[in-house]
């Protein structure tokens, strides 16, 4: 029972991270068919923002020492700002390009951000102490669980509820959903394209920042590659969920989180280092079974 509870919490907190990452990618894909390969580097950028303005090789936390109620909005704002900036400077010029071109452009942007960080901070991971008391374990029903997991899960639930409310209840949300459904038609009916897209980028950037904050609290290190692995999982989640489907991305994120935690717990010790390989293997098997994902949306179906 205790073991099951432990696995359940692991699965939910890992799944939350994946779901938030996948949501950030699916949002942008929904409005402009862009697979944003720079998303992982947004995450890394937000984490490095904790060190500002120091660019010392040893981690000197400056911005990270701000009180929590200032720090969280600051980092979220940086994420949103970076994301919107990349839209204005780069992706706006690709409005009429095909998705493959945009995908490669975002790949290049990701590299620019990553090597910009490398130039300033070098490639060595640094340790950083942010809310580390949240990782000390507490006992809940006999299972030893760090409060951070509980906070991660609760935050994710709150974000999901808030985002759903935003998308379903407000005018902006309606516009975004309409744009995701049929962008040309939405524009003809008076939806401002640039505003909707910028909004999607802003929300996506904030999600990246949230993921970054959770990651850095969990691991206690900052590293220019810290977003890459998560981004890969998030991509896979958006494909499994059906490209362009927001609920699909979230469900698939939790599914992959669950699968990883189960494998971590039940694979024989020799096979454990290959956990992710098994997870991706399972994903590929699933794609053969349903090539369009679990919740495929009409907009992305191939017509051949």
Partner 1 sequence: MHQRPSILARTWTTPVILIAILLAVALAAVAVSTGPFNQTVIEIFIRVVLVVGLYVFIGNSGVISFGHIGFTCLGAYMTAWLTMLPAIKKSKLKGLPDIILNAKLQYGWGLLAAAVFAAVCAYVIGKVLMRLSGIAASIASFAVLAVIIQVYSNWDSVTGAQSSVVGIPIIRTIWPYFACAVIVVVVAYFYSISRSGLALRAARDEATAAAASGVDIPRERLIAFVISGAMMGLGGALFAHSVGVVTPDTFYLGLTFITLSMLVVGGMNSLSGAVLGVVVLSTIIQVLRWFEKGIDVGGTVLTIPNGVQEIAIGIVMIVILMFRPTGMTRNRELVWPGKKLSAEAGAMPSSADGKTAKT
Q: How far does Cα 135 stand from its chain's mean position?
A: 21
What does each C-alpha distance from 55 to 34, 35, 46, 139 come to in angstroms?
32, 31, 14, 39
CB nearer partner 1, residue 208 or residue 243: 243
- Name which position in 21, 205, 293, 295 contacts partner 1 (CB under 8 A): 293
- Name which position in 108, 138, 154, 161 contacts partner 1 (CB under 8 A): 108
Cα separation, 238 vs 234, in Å, equals: 6
Answer yes or no whether residue 73 interacts with partner 1 by CB under 8 A. Answer: no
Calculate ∠ Cα 203-131-214, nearest 5°: 30
CB nearer partner 1, residue 64 or residue 248: 248
- Name which position in 52, 62, 94, 166 contacts partner 1 (CB under 8 A): 94
Give the single-character DSSP code of 297: -
Alpha-helix runs per DSSP H in the chain? 2-32, 39-48, 68-89, 99-121, 147-169, 171-181, 183-188, 193-219, 226-241, 246-266, 275-289
Tell me how far, at minimum, the Cβ of 103 lies from partner 1, in Å: 6
Cα separation, 241 vs 256, in Å, equals: 11
Three-state SS at 223: coil
Answer yes or no whether residue 35 interacts with partner 1 by CB under 8 A. Answer: yes
CB nearer partner 1, residue 266 or residue 289: 289
**Would you state the structure tokens that stand for residue 25, as one six-digit string?**
């990618």
> Do β-strands 143-145 and 138-140 pair in parallel, antiparallel, or remain unpaired?
antiparallel
- Name which position in 3, 70, 85, 118 contacts partner 1 (CB under 8 A): 118
The CA-based dihedral angle spanning residues 60, 108, 86, 295, taken in that order and rounded to the nearest 10 degrees: -110
Answer yes or no whether residue 302 interacts with partner 1 by CB under 8 A. Answer: yes
CA nearest 194: which of 287, 283, 92?
92
Binding-site size, partner 1 (CB under 8 A): 45
Using the structure block, give the residue that is written with the tokens 């609920």. Answer: 247
Site string for partner 1, 201-230 (x = CB under 8 A): ---------------------------x--
CB nearer partner 1, residue 57 or residue 165: 57
Answer yes or no whether residue 269 interacts with partner 1 by CB under 8 A. Answer: no
CB nearer partner 1, residue 111 or residue 192: 111
Stretch that binds partner 1, among 69-77, 124-132, 168-176, 292-300 (CB under 8 A): 292-300
CB nearer partner 1, residue 163 or residue 300: 300
Answer yes or no whether residue 107 interacts with partner 1 by CB under 8 A. Answer: yes
Residues making contact with partner 1 (CB under 8 A):
35, 90, 93-94, 97, 99-101, 103-105, 107-109, 111-112, 114-116, 118-119, 228, 232, 235-236, 238-239, 243, 273-274, 276-277, 280-281, 283-284, 287-288, 291-293, 300, 302-304
């Amino acid at each position: 029972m205790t073991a099951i509870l432990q696995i359940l919490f692991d699965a939910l907190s890992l799944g939350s991270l994946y779901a938030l990452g996948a949501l950030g990618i699916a949002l942008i894909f929904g409005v402009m068919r862009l697979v944003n390969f720079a998303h992982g580097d947004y995450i890394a950028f937000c984490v490095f923002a904790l060190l500002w303005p120091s660019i010392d090789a040893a981690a000197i936390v400056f911005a990270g020492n701000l009180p929590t109620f200032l720090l969280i909005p600051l980092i979220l704002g940086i994420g949103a700002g970076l994301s919107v900036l990349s839209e204005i400077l780069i992706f706006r010029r690709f409005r009429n390009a095909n998705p493959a071109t945009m995908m490669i452009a975002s790949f290049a942007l990701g590299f620019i951000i990553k090597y910009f960080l490398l130039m300033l901070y070098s490639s060595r991971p640094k340790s950083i102490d942010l809310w580390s008391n949240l990782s000390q374990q507490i006992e809940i029903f006999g299972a030893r669980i760090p409060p951070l997991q509980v906070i991660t899960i609760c935050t994710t639930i709150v974000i999901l509820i808030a985002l759903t409310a935003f998308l379903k209840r407000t005018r902006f949300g309606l516009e975004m959903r309409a744009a995701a459904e049929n962008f040309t038609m939405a524009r003809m009916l008076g939806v401002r394209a640039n505003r909707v897209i910028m909004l999607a980028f802003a929300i996506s950037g904030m999600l990246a920042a949230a993921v970054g904050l959770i990651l850095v609290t969990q691991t206690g290190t900052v590293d220019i590659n810290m977003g890459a692995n998560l981004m890969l999982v998030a991509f896979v989640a958006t494909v499994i969920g059906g490209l362009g489907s927001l609920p699909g991305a979230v469900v698939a994120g939790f599914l992959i989180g669950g699968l990883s935690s189960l494998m971590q717990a039940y694979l024989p010790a020799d096979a454990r280092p290959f956990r992710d390989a098994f997870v991706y293997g399972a994903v590929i098997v699933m794609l053969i079974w349903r090539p369009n994902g679990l919740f495929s949306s009409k907009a992305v179906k191939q017509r051949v």
